A and B are shown apart, each in its own frame.
Chain A
Amino acid sequence: MAAKSPANSTPRRPVSSLSARKLKDNAADWHNLMMKWEKLNDSGFTTANKIVNMKIGEQFQDNELEIACDSSATESEKPAPKYNEELDNCCAELLETLKRMTKIQLKMEKLTSTTKAICDLETFHYGAGNCTTPFFHTWPTPYFYEVSLKLSKMYKEELQLKQTIVQEIAHSADQDLMMVYLSSWLYQPYIENSSKLLLESMLLETGHRQC
């Protein structure tokens, strides 16, 4: 049932319908989740940077110690590596950040499946491809799902990368590899630049942003 609308604008269904409200709420949730993710990314980078600096510091000390020790010392005579409490704390902190990011990514998947459910409901009511009246301005309902799916996939892949980084960063001795871990964490290669545009478009479509 299309609501009355001004002659020049696209005919719309009543925005107060539950599905439209849910889509609007989802758009707001996407925004909030992506902002939280960015904050965690920043704090995670600070922690990862500390870990790498400590590892490099340890390597430097070990090298100096090796030079100072008698070169004929056997493996058993060489001093054992010391437990680094600060390093351990940073690793725990990074792991905690990852856990929080994992929760966010799961919520993103939930948003995507809710959007899919709304599309399925629409198909049930109108038949596939028969409903041409958008809830808001121009987006057909399946497009909301397409955007959610794209975003969800980006964050899922990014999370997999971050999981590997968290597992490996404190165990690497290769400085180039540690630098690549840091860079990968910071620049989030699997979250494409288009994600910001997709989010803003969704917010504009659902009326959270004004033209």
Chain B
Amino acid sequence: MAALAAALRGWVAAVEPQDAAWRAARAALAPLLHSLAGLAAQMRAAQRLAWGRSPLGGFGELRARLWRKQRGAAEALLEELSGRRAELRAVRDAVAAGVAAVLRLYEERAAELGLEAALRRGPSCPSLAEALEGLQDVERYYRCLCLESELLLRRVSCDSLAEVEALPQSWERILERYKDDVVADALLKISLFVDNQQELCCSLAS
């Protein structure tokens, strides 16, 4: 049990900065999406405009030039977005590797520990099973949110400007389904286990 507690303690210490990196990358996404949406609105306005009948009609090459500049700006934003996506994937992969290592350790010690010990909880201590469940909750949270963000952002292109314009709302709808407290709750549960698992051993002895 002590070995598992130590592994969980190490995992929590590793996940805290990774979660901070995740939050930073996720927070950086919203302004990028708003900029892209604004740009898409400008590009659509330029597509709809009757150029010949406007005061800009005298500027012969303007439409093509403006389009090139707007596309250049869109590509720069998409590249930045790609960087943020890579940061999210890096956190997802690091957390998954950490969780896999702890679960592998549990599988090795499962027979020795027994089911009863894994399920035992104390007055201020969740069970080992609950702590491991917390681990899986965190891994699932990063994996699923990463997948949804990839599915949303991979489709972004200048060929579907209406979708790009709706990006901020689409992103908000995804975030509403993934509350931040999942990670905080799981870390709390695991920390409670790590700090108080001695009382489980005492109750076993008595």
Residues of A in contact with B (beta carbons under 8 Å apart): 160-161, 164, 167-168, 174-177, 179-184, 187-190, 193
Contacts and interface: CB of A to CB of B under 8 A. Distances in A.
Interface of B: 41-43, 45-46, 48-49, 54-56, 58-59, 62, 65-66, 68-70, 72-73
B100 to A, nearest CB: 47
Nearest to B68: A189
A184 B73 contact: no
Given A161-B62, A189-B62, A184 B56 contact: yes
B180 to A, nearest CB: 33
Contacts of A188: 69
30 contacts: A161-B56, A161-B62, A164-B58, A164-B59, A168-B55, A174-B49, A176-B46, A176-B49, A177-B49, A177-B54, A179-B42, A179-B46, A180-B42, A180-B45, A180-B49, A180-B54, A180-B56, A180-B66, A181-B56, A183-B45, A183-B46, A184-B56, A184-B66, A187-B69, A187-B70, A187-B73, A188-B69, A189-B65, A189-B66, A189-B69
Contacts of A176: 45-46, 48-49
Interface residue SS majority, chain A: helix
B46 A180 contact: yes
Contact of A179 (B45, B59, B65, B73): B45
Given A184-B56, A189-B62, A175 B69 contact: no
A158 B69 CA distance: 13
A160 B41 CA distance: 25
Contacts of A193: 72
